[in-house]
């Protein structure tokens, strides 16, 4: 499978969900532009970057610290990190879930990750 390298801090959407699945060792597959995992006997849509039910378990499991700060522009930014909570591990996101997912990926896979080329069209810089 052909892959591209993406900075963790730039991951979003399906690319972020895929990286979270790899970081947390979830058995998932990509089909028709969506990521699935096995649910209770049937496929279940996997989207921890937008689903509190899926991400909440990961936030607890990986001891994710969440907060938000006001930026100088007046906008709010969500921030997150996993233990150890050092500056290099802090990730930001438009939402708390995006920040948390990026923090989990950063902790498990580092500052850059390999994403399958077939989902690169859903990566922020390709828009």
Per-residue model confidence as pLDDT tens digits over 91-106:
999 999 999 999 999 9
The pTM of the full predicted model, rounded to 2 decimals, is 0.87
pLDDT recorded at residue 120: 58
Mapping DSSP to helix (H, G, I), strand (E, B) and coil, where does residue 75 land?
coil
pLDDT-derived band at 125 (thresholds 50, 70, 90) equals very low
> CA 66, CA 45: separation in Å to the nearest integer?
24
Dihedral angle over CA of 73, 56, 44, 35, nearest 10? 40
111 vs 75 pLDDT, higher one:
111
Quickly tell me which residue has 């907060």 as its tokens.
67
> CA 13, CA 16: separation in Å to the nearest integer?
5
Average pLDDT over residues 81-87: 80
Give strand ranges (E) for 2-42: 3-7, 28-31, 34-38
Q: Which CATH architecture has domain 3-126?
A: 2-Layer Sandwich (3.30)
């Amino acid at each position: 499978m052909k892959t591209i390298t993406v900075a963790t801090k730039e991951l979003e959407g399906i690319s972020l969900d895929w990286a979270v699945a790899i970081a947390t060792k979830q058995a998932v597959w990509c089909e028709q532009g969506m990521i699935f995992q096995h649910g209770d006997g049937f496929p279940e849509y996997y989207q921890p970057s937008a689903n509190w039910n899926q991400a909440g378990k990961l936030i607890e499991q990986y001891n994710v610290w969440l907060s938000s700060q006001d930026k100088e522009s007046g906008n709010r930014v969500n921030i997150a990190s996993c233990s150890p909570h050092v500056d290099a591990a802090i990730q930001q996101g438009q939402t708390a879930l995006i920040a948390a997912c990026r923090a989990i990926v950063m902790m498990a896979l580092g500052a850059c990750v390999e994403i399958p080329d077939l989902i690169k069209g859903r990566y922020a810089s390709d828009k």
